[in-house]
Amino acid sequence: MSSVAEEPYREGLEGVIANETAIANLEGREGSGGLEYRGYRIEDLAGNVSYEETAFLLLHGDLPTRAQLREFDSRLRASRDLPAPLVQLFREIPETAHPMDVIRTSVSVLAHFDPDVNAPPTDHAANVRKAERLVAQMPTAVAFRERIVNGNAPIAPRADLDHAANFLNMVNGKMPSPTMSSAFDLSLVLYTEHELNASTFSARVTVSTLSDLHSGIVAAIGTLKGPLHGGANEEAWKVLEEVGSPENALKWIEDALAQKRRIMGFGHRVYKTGDPRSRILKPHCAALAAEIGDDRWERIAEPIEQIVTTQKHLPPNVDWPSARLYHYMGLDIDLYTPIFAMARVAGWAAHIIEQLDHNRLMRPRARYIGPPNRPVKPLDAR
């Protein structure tokens, strides 16, 4: 083995290949860039397949046949309920707790009640069953806590509704419009998977010790929470609120850039010329704004997007349009990142299963830059 001093070090692990994966590809056709889930271009999936079909694709390796989808969907619908002690816990966790922390706790609690909790961590079939249950349970957990913390009774999941409509109905207490429901479903499809982003990496590291799937998901949720990753969709909304009016947008962004502020919802470690997810989602923001008859946020967002893209060469990422999209759906700002988590759980689980199917402990090295070797002085001589 070569010494640590001879090995290349890349800050933030930029460009380091830490895994092989058959789940997502950010290289696109002939290295032209883009996003593919298991060989399917995101542009071809978006609008053509539902979140349920996408989750099946990630967990089972290919798009489902009609019969496979029917069975998968009925398993999801049958798994949406939560154990009573978790619902009780939602009443006892302090109201001030961020929903992202509560969904992290929820997954930890759900582990105790999972019928496969004692299966070996490398049991592929048990891991797929655990993953399917989490895909079904996490939206209920997000919605129940939201209702309870706002002093409302939880709305039971409805087995006659699909994944997207059921969630919006459980949170808002009313059926979403078809435009709203399909835009929400699309946002989940776009959020489902993204190769070796920070949260997926932490999930893979966690289970590489032969820890269990739920532990990997808990680690991933904790990692997603930060504003440089999933937390950016909430921060992107705060940008729009701070700007406040279309008239203020140009001055606000020029001042912010002059002050070298980091503009949340822009930039990406891998996509340097644009995030395909943002391009796909943007027209749906405009459509929903038109449906609710309020285009103010679109008129604030557009000049900011133009300036940051042209002056800083930082195109918007997926979190920039999704913040507006969720606002138009009447969702509280602090649900934006938990929604990202309840979508991404299918991708995280697919990676966890892939890791456990071909596991080797992840244990990199660090280059030491501390004081040189020195003697330990007795306490009185220090």
Q: Catalytic positions, please?
A: 268, 319
Q: How far is the CB of 248 from ligand CMC (least distance, A)?
A: 18
Interface with ligand CMC: number of residues (CB under 6 A)? 19
End-to-end CA distance of the chain: 37
Q: Which is nearer to ligand CMC, 21 or 309 (CB)?
A: 309
d(CA 131, CA 120): 15
Using the contact rule CB under 6 A, the part of the chain among 167-175, 264-272, 298-306, 328-336 near ligand CMC is 264-272
Choosing from 105, 127, 166, 197, the residue that interacts with ligand CMC (CB under 6 A) is: 197
Binding to ligand CMC by residue 18, rule CB under 6 A? no
Q: How far is the CB of 296 from ligand CMC (least distance, A)?
A: 22
Binding to ligand CMC by residue 268, rule CB under 6 A? yes
CB atoms under 10 Å from CB of 165, counted, come to 20
Binding to ligand CMC by residue 321, rule CB under 6 A? no
Query: According to CB under 6 A, which residues from 281 to 320 bind ligand CMC?
Result: 312, 314, 317-319
Type of residue numbered 71: E
Binding to ligand CMC by residue 232, rule CB under 6 A? yes
d(CA 214, CA 203): 9
Type of residue numbered 370: G
Q: Which is nearer to ligand CMC, 29 or 312 (CB)?
A: 312
Q: What is the dihedral of CA 229, 233, 239, 245, to 10 degrees?
A: 160
d(CA 207, CA 218): 11
Choosing from 238, 269, 279, 299, the residue that interacts with ligand CMC (CB under 6 A) is: 269
What sections of 245-371 are H helices per DSSP?
246-258, 276-292, 296-312, 319-328, 336-357
d(CA 93, CA 350): 30
Using the contact rule CB under 6 A, the part of the chain among 71-79, 110-118, 227-235, 361-369 near ligand CMC is 227-235
- Assigned token pair, 218: 């808990």
d(CA 244, CA 249): 8
d(CA 123, CA 73): 22
Choosing from 29, 91, 251, 262, the residue that interacts with ligand CMC (CB under 6 A) is: 262
Using the contact rule CB under 6 A, the part of the chain among 58-66, 161-169, 204-212, 228-236 near ligand CMC is 228-236
Binding to ligand CMC by residue 339, rule CB under 6 A? no
Residue of minimal Cβ distance to ligand CMC = 267
CB atoms under 10 Å from CB of 116, counted, come to 18
Choosing from 249, 263, 281, 335, the residue that interacts with ligand CMC (CB under 6 A) is: 263
CB atoms under 10 Å from CB of 286, counted, come to 15
Q: How far is the CB of 66 from ligand CMC (least distance, A)?
A: 33
Contact footprint for ligand CMC (CB under 6 A): 12, 197, 228-230, 232, 262-269, 312, 314, 317-319
